[in-house]
Amino acid sequence: MARSFNFSAGPGILPEPVLHQAASEMLDYKGSGMSVMEMSHRSKWYEDIQNKAEANLREIMGIPENYKVLFLQGGAHLQFSMIPLNLKNSGKADFWITGNWSEKAFQEAKKYISVQPVASGKANGFRAIPEVDVSMLSPEADYFHMTTNNTVCGTRIRGCDIPDTGKVPVVADMSSNILSEAYDVSKFGIIYAGAQKNMGPAGVTVVIIRDDLIRKTEPWVPTMLQYAIHADNSSLYNTPPCYSIYLCGLVFEWIKAQGGIPAIQKANEEKAALLYAAIDSSTLYKGLVEKKDRSLMNVTFATGSEDLDKKFAKEADALGMANLKGYRTMGGMRASIYNAMPLAGVEALVAFMKEFEAKNKPGC
């Protein structure tokens, strides 16, 4: 059976060379006589896998030495709680609310600290990134939280858009665009990302945290929710999601082989430009977010007819273009074109869009 072009928002598409390598090593990883799934996380075999994955991630992202890389579990959702529990000092935090997930992070942090929504796009359905001025920020905040890419609505915050917060650490959820474009890691106190959108399979969450933010927490904070515990134990305090980390490591190697993040970003910009051009030149399709804030990873659009949107997704799926139905709160369609989506996949989608429009435009 031929592989589909998988436009799923997550778990997302993985590079075929990574899947082929994982398949070839499934029963016997490099002469160990075992699958990575079966290995002890205390073994030398696995230690080498995790160390190599971390080294490659540090290289491709340019992670400074004064940052720890942690491989955790619980997804971004658990980070919504871990961050306020670990960074609490003044007990205040500022939030840039640009989509569903930053809203969820805000609501979760409210359980532990005082939070301020310095800017929110909720009133306009998160169809644009609200502007943030430094005058809106509190110099006493423990951190400033943001989400760099909004998977649901299809907006993004570029590195040049991030305000200068002074001594207040910037905490960024990069779950859906990590490794897709260049960011200066040194501008952040914490970067966290669930792997299942652009790094690997579900099950592992990467946390990149500056050393000075790894602090002693209040005694009642659960052991598994303390960054210091995981940092002191090299992410091996408990059994980690070994196989997911192994696959992430293969993805990091694949990115290096493509030429690193600069080359990946260039390819992503080409794919996104092709798809947005098809939307903008159409009389049937309309983009769902402001052009200046459009995501490179999640492209949202609609026909204006719910029935026609459903027909589009169904017919596309029959042609091997899967998971194009939009998120329930946005409707329409959503094409997630993560790093591993080949240009051919976007070209196939654009060709189908033109054919579908020709058959379904008003008056036909």
> Is residue 272 pLDDT above 90, yes or no?
yes
**336-357 mean pLDDT:** 98
Which among 142, 173, 293, 309 is annotated as catalytic?
Answer: 173
Question: Does any domain span residue 174?
Answer: yes
Classify burial at 124, counting beta carbons within 10 Å of its beta carbon; exposed 0-12, middle 13-18, buried 19 or more: exposed
Structure confidence at residue 330 (pLDDT): 87
Residue 164, C-beta contacts closer than 8 angstroms, at least 6 positions apart: 134
Q: What pLDDT does residue 1 have?
A: 57
Give dist(CA 305, CA 320) in Å, integer: 23
Of 257, 292, 314, which marks where a domain is finished? Answer: 257
pLDDT digits (tens, 9 = 90+) for 70-98: 999 999 999 999 999 999 999 999 999 99
Per the document, the length of the chain is: 364
Confidence class for position 329, pLDDT limits 50, 70, 90: confident
The answer to whether the beta carbons of residues 168 and 141 sit under 8 Å apart is yes
Tokens of 272: 């996104």
278-341-197-318 Cα dihedral, nearest 10 degrees: 70
Same domain, 73 and 109: yes
Instruction: Based on the fold, state whether residues 326 and 179 are members of the same structural domain.
Output: no
CATH number at residue 74: 3.40.640.10
**Catalytic residue at 133?**
no
Q: Which of these three, 230, 257, 284, is where a domain ends?
A: 257
When pLDDT is averaged across residues 295-313 and rounded to a whole number, the result is: 97
* Domain presence at residue 118: yes
Q: Look at the chain and report how many structural domains it folds into.
A: 2
Residues 199 and 345 grouped into a single domain: no
Q: Compute the average pLDDT of residues 175-187.
A: 97
Classify residue 2: in a domain, yes or no. Answer: no
Percent of the chain exceeding pLDDT 90 equals: 96
Statement to judge: residues 226 and 342 lie in one domain: no
Task: Examine the domain organization and report whether 204 and 343 are in the same domain.
Answer: no
Is the pLDDT at 364 greater than 90? The verdict is no
101, 254, 271, 325: the catalytic one is 101
Q: Decide if 3 is inside a domain.
A: no
Helix ranges, the chain (H) = 16-24, 44-61, 75-87, 100-109, 227-232, 242-258, 260-280, 306-318, 343-360
Residue 118 has pLDDT above 60, yes or no: yes
DSSP summary character for residue 236: -
Average pLDDT over residues 255-260: 98
Owning domain of residue 297: 260-360
Q: Span 245-270, mean pLDDT?
A: 98
> Which among 68, 96, 142, 197 is annotated as catalytic?
197
Q: Are residues 169 and 298 in the same domain?
A: no
Q: Residues 156, 65: one domain?
A: yes
Residues 304 and 231 in one domain: no
pLDDT digits (tens, 9 = 90+) for 240-255: 999 999 999 999 999 9
In a domain, 49, yes or no: yes
**Are 206 and 195 a contacting pair, CB within 8 Å?**
yes
pLDDT digits (tens, 9 = 90+) for 46-71: 999 999 999 999 999 999 999 999 99
Segment 39-47 mean pLDDT: 94
- Residue 222 pLDDT > 80, yes or no? yes
299 and 344 part of one domain: yes
Domain boundary among 201, 234, 257: 257
pLDDT in tens, 200-218: 999 999 999 999 999 999 9
Compare 330 and 27 and report the one with higher pLDDT: 27
Q: Is residue 101 annotated as a catalytic residue, yes or no?
A: yes
The DSSP bridge pattern shows strands 5-6 and 298-302 to be unpaired
Give domain status of residue 9, yes or no. Answer: no
Quote the pTM value.
0.96
The pLDDT score that the predictor gives to residue 328 is 87
Residue 361's pLDDT band, with cuts at 50, 70 and 90, is: confident
Beta pairing, strands 67-72 & 205-210: antiparallel
**Residue 225: is its pLDDT beyond 90?**
yes
Average pLDDT of 331-360? 97
Same domain, 99 and 230: yes
What is the reported pLDDT for 121?
Answer: 92
Q: What is the mean pLDDT of the chain?
A: 96
Residue 210 falls inside a structural domain: yes
96 and 155 co-located in one domain: yes
How much of the chain is helix, strand and coil, in % rounded to 5? 40, 15, 40
- Known catalytic membership, residue 173: yes
In this structure, is residue 6 part of a structural domain? no
The CATH number of residue 334's host domain is: 3.90.1150.10
Residues 252 and 265 in one domain: no
